[in-house]
Amino acid sequence: MPQEVIFIKGAREHNLKNVDVTIPRDRLVVITGVSGSGKSSLAFDTIYAEGQRRYVESLSAYARQFLGRMDKPDVDYIEGLSPAISIDQKGVSHNPRSTVGTVTEIYDYLRLLFARIGKPHCPKCGNPVARQTVQQIVDAILGLPESSRITLLAPKIRRKKGEHREVFEAARRGGFVRVRVNGEVMLVEDTDSLALDKQKWHYIDIVVDRLIIRGDTEPNRVTESVETALREGEGVLTVGREGEDDQVFSEQFACVACGISLPEIEPRTFSFNSPHGACSTCTGLGYQLEVDPSLVIQNRSLSLLEGAIVPWARSGAANAWYASMMEAVATENDFSPRVPVRELTDEQVNIVLYGAGKQQVKVRHRTGRGRTYTWNTAYEGVIPNLQRRYRDTESDHTRGEIERYMAQRACRSCEGARLRPEALGVLVCGRNIMEVTGLTIGEGLHWVRGIKPGDTVSANGSSNGYDGSNGRDGGNGHLPEQTLEIADADPAANGSKSKARRSRKNGRREVADVAATLTAREMVIADQILKEIDGRLHFLDSIGLDYVTMSRTARTLSGGEAQRVRLATQIGSGLTGVLYVCDEPTVGLHPHDDHRLIGTLTRLRDMGNTVIVVEHDDAMMRAADHIVDLGPGAGEHGGKIVATGNVAEVMANEASLTGAYLSGRKRIPVPEERRPGNGKSIAVTGARENNLQGIDVEFPLGLLGCVTGVSGSGKSTLVYDILYKRLAQAVAQGRDRPGDHDEITGIEHIDKVVNIDQSPIGRTPRSNPATYTGAFTPIRELFATLPEARIRGYKPGRFSFNVKGGRCEACQGEGYIQIEMQFLPDVTVPCEICQGRRYNREALEVTLRDQSIADVLAMTVETALDFFWNYSRIRSKLETLRDVGLGYIRLGQPATTLSGGEAQRVKLSTELSRRATGRTLYLLDEPTTGLSFEDCAALLRVLHRLVDHGNSVLLIEHNLDLIKNADWIIDLGPGAGNRGGNLLAFGTPETLAQVEESHTGRYLRNALGVEAQVGVAD
């Protein structure tokens, strides 16, 4: 009889206090508790790690030889464990080639689909290209209308200049009687007197046979003539009919009109990661780095001599030489280098940026020593100069400096499509593969179901037994009264022919008479492929990702989005009897879409799997079959089981903080009054990047603001791509190009902008909270002042694990060594010399109150705060880490092991420890990631402290506790992707709660107890 529970005995990993816990199998189980209470230690470092270890143990002897060096979780034993799969937030690929389509394997199936049933077209003229056998050609000829008079021709010359006497001689030697010259049939013997103009284009065919199609036409004669024509025409045959256009047949895979041969169509033809399919110019990236004029001249109110050209203004000693060059160019072209750039004409600015060709300018330059030199030279131009130096330099520093002024631009060859023209010319129902991946998940689902013959597709893309509602009315994330409009797709056209709608990119083709659905034969081939694609798209759609395009790069996904993409991939695999461990999959998900994710997880459970979710979300906990609450505190104060059972049992447990918030015994209060702000604001007009619909938005300053809306409504695009990038350019010399908008006003009201996002604080294990916050420098300086260190002559550098001296040279100060496993992921094991302590024996002999530098790095923030309480420089930085709820993390914890939310709070604490200007704008993207109810209350106190110092804070947030504490809310929507991007409402939380059209307002209503009224933003 199969075991019904997973029993963990004596778990002591990290801060777990020898806990015993029973988890029911084949259930949806939520592990919750305050941040740092040991949730991840139990779920990932104990349960998942042991499941993974047992799996590797079942592998070959080659894999097992490394097991002695792989750590076993610190646990007595675990019973009832299944093979485990981890779906965490750190699995996002930063490779620009990785897309939603490749991660979910949808693109692999699309490549197979296009390779098997795609219709090749010439990349130049757009004509269909197909290889035909002799039998197919004969059947096509015999199938022509009765009594058709036809001429079988072998093309010899196509649009070539010359007299071509050799062609006529070859025809005579071959025994042919007639030829067709420029459309006129004549006897071969008459060509002796024919004088072709060798300066004009000519077309010459050999007449192989002339026939009248009747019922008694001899097939053998036609076959012989076709074979002869193909032999003479090198695989191409033309059939001429009286009063009709010529019909061309080919037994080669080539365009007969353009003479372009196409390669064999294989799945790799459509891979932008393979030289067989990738665009040769951009190697499949879809973009190239080019110098951006707007980054070269960022402030047009400056003159050329005042530093308007930023790369030259940063050139130090070379700046004077550039100034002399600019004066010479200005003199030669009759303009002043001392007036603001905005007063120059476009032609004059172009001369400065791109040069004046071979025009010589007379340069007069005075050196620092007072010597004057004069010479004539051609002015290269700022941008050609930067491009040449970037191309020719061998210095990484120089290349990095020039990249500050470069931006990603769509590749000019493929226009961002990543593939070769030959691959883009292969169509399925009128679309090439990149046009399909350019669709959102919802639109792609509609297309896949729409090309199946006989299927009826509803407006929300559902068919084949799915109702598309996903547990609520309206379906697929858009409002019930809306319909899903897809470019170039008409559901009513299914089963019929539709004319081509568009011309292909690069102007290469116009496609005519494209079938809207697959033929019966194509359907037999594609049925299984379409089933796999449909299943994966449906899962992505059902977990609230219908607004994401398949071509979106994986590194642009939030942690929650990436995790849900991987979740959909796992569900698509159809495994049963597996243990799934998920890390906060609701991150980035609006409460409106929670039930879709919960439905997906319950479906995973219903397939016979055990689903363990580390989660703080209220709706997820209420939907769980079983809850395990850890605590009561963080770090050393946590690691105990506080409560277990269903949601009612946890709510009834007086010792559980989670239960207190779920039951309403404890709650985060609503502020008694809202801040009015300082009367100043920053206004964005005409925001239309991505899915934004040209909206005008005003951000009041001096208060706690919040941008809300369903996932994919355009929040990050507005706040990060437009607002932050433009402000960074203005106040911090940022080099990123802002998103498409008309204007941003009010920038003068701030002097600093800080974007505190969830990106890692470091890419390597060398980076940690102590180094990032700056606390490690005074710690090293303190150790250098100790008597033992002074006797030995140790400086602060001796206590750095990044340079020679005090670090362990065996592992270069990393504490770990990476072992390549060939067919398995690389394994990281502790260094045998230093046992993971990073330092050599001499450095570790210097101690402060019996604690070495390695012991200090192993301390939690709480412990270190007590230890360094008398050292104010260190204490101030550790206090801010504690204030943002990170008292449980260790000072030396590698940055790569921090979650997105933890990394964001480390950055927030670093900003808190700096001197505030009172005119700083802080931007935070979902700072509640990884926070429990109690931690959210602590974070709110920190944010209110920032605002009370005169700063402005702007959040992107879905958490209702933070939203109801905001002074001002900007709500975008109503839906995601193309159904979003509008400004729905703005004002206080009480104002938003009265707007019926707002999904956020609907949930705020419950939190605030406000009655609904109809109203939207103007």
Backbone phi and psi for residue 448, each to the nearest 5 degrees, phi listed first: -60, -40
639: phi > 0 → left, psi -120 to 50 → alpha, else beta; which?
A: left
**Degrees to nearest 5, angle at CA 124 with 123 and 126:** 70
Domain at 362, CATH number: 1.10.8.280
Give the pairing of strands 968-973 and 704-708.
parallel
Residue 519 counted as domain residue: no
Identify the DSSP state of 98.
Answer: -
Torsion angle in degrees (nearest 10) through CA of 940, 942, 944, 949: -170
Last residue of a domain, one of 410, 429, 445: 410
Number of domains in the chain: 5
The structure tokens listed for 891 are 């000072």
> Residues 213, 325: one domain?
no
> Residues 893, 907: one domain?
no
> Residues 654, 722: one domain?
no
Rounded CA gap, 1000 and 590, in Å? 8
The structure tokens listed for 543 are 């977990």
Contact 177, 207 (CB under 8 A): yes
**Rg for the chain (alpha carbons), in Å?**
35
Q: How many residues does the chain have?
A: 1018
> Residues 211, 321: one domain?
no
N-terminal to C-terminal alpha carbon distance within the chain:
65
Contact 882, 633 (CB under 8 A): no
41: phi > 0 → left, psi -120 to 50 → alpha, else beta; which?
A: alpha
pTM (predicted TM-score)? 0.73
Give pLDDT, residue 475. 36
Contact 653, 659 (CB under 8 A): yes
The structure tokens listed for 830 are 């502790």
Sign of CA dihedral 689, 693, 695, 697: negative
Residue 807 counted as domain residue: yes
Domain at 59, CATH number: 3.40.50.300
Residue 380 counted as domain residue: yes
Residue 496 counted as domain residue: no
Cβ neighbour number for residue 264 with a 10 Å cutoff: 10
Rounded CA gap, 410 and 290, in Å? 10
Contact 257, 122 (CB under 8 A): yes
Give pLDDT, residue 501. 34
Can you say how many angstroms the Cα of residue 968 is from the centroid of all Cα atoms in its chain? 30
461: phi > 0 → left, psi -120 to 50 → alpha, else beta; which?
A: left
Residue 972 counted as domain residue: yes
Rounded CA gap, 633 and 645, in Å? 20
Cβ neighbour number for residue 739 with a 10 Å cutoff: 20
What is the domain range of residue 648? 5-92+575-663
Q: Is 982 helix (H, G, I), strand (E, B) or coil?
A: strand
> Residues 598, 633: one domain?
yes
Q: What is the largest CA-CA distance in the chain?
A: 113
Alpha-carbon separation of residue 854 from 307, 793, 795, 833 (angstroms): 48, 19, 16, 14
Last residue of a domain, one of 386, 410, 434: 410
The string of DSSP letters for 742-782 reads SEEE-GGG-SEEEEE-SS-S-SSTT--HHHHHT-HHHHHHH
User: What residue type is assigned to position 23 of the chain?
Assistant: I
Cβ neighbour number for residue 104 with a 10 Å cutoff: 24
Rounded CA gap, 484 and 334, in Å? 57
Give pLDDT, residue 661. 93
Residue 51 counted as domain residue: yes
Q: Is 1016 helix (H, G, I), strand (E, B) or coil?
A: coil
Rounded CA gap, 673 and 74, in Å? 50
> Residues 922, 996: one domain?
yes
Could you list the beta-strand ranges (E) of 528-605: 579-583
> Residues 696, 581: one domain?
no
Closest CA to 69 of 837, 813, 830: 830
Give pLDDT, residue 69. 52
Residue 696 counted as domain residue: yes
Residue 458 counted as domain residue: no
> Residues 909, 854: one domain?
no
> Residues 803, 756: one domain?
no
Buried b (16+ CB within 10 A) or exposed e, 850-880: eebbbbbbbbbbbbbbebbeeeeebbebbbb
> Residues 905, 878: one domain?
no
> Residues 961, 856: one domain?
no
The structure tokens listed for 980 are 């979003």
Rounded CA gap, 523 and 536, in Å? 19
Rounded CA gap, 204 and 164, in Å? 9
> Residues 885, 906: one domain?
no
Cβ neighbour number for residue 535 with a 10 Å cutoff: 16
Closest CA to 226 of 242, 245, 244, 247: 247
Give the pairing of strands 201-212 and 149-161.
antiparallel
Give pLDDT, residue 503. 38
Contact 466, 576 (CB under 8 A): no
Last residue of a domain, one of 847, 882, 897: 897
Give pLDDT, residue 1006. 84
List average pLDDT for each run of 10 residues in the chain, which is 1018 residues long: 84 91 96 89 92 79 60 89 81 80 92 94 85 87 89 90 91 92 91 88 93 87 92 90 83 76 86 91 90 85 86 67 87 89 91 87 83 88 91 87 85 92 92 94 93 61 37 34 34 33 38 68 94 90 86 80 76 82 86 85 91 93 96 85 96 93 91 91 94 95 94 90 91 80 93 85 84 93 94 93 90 83 65 90 93 93 93 91 86 81 83 80 88 87 88 93 95 87 94 90 82 45
Give pLDDT, residue 559. 63
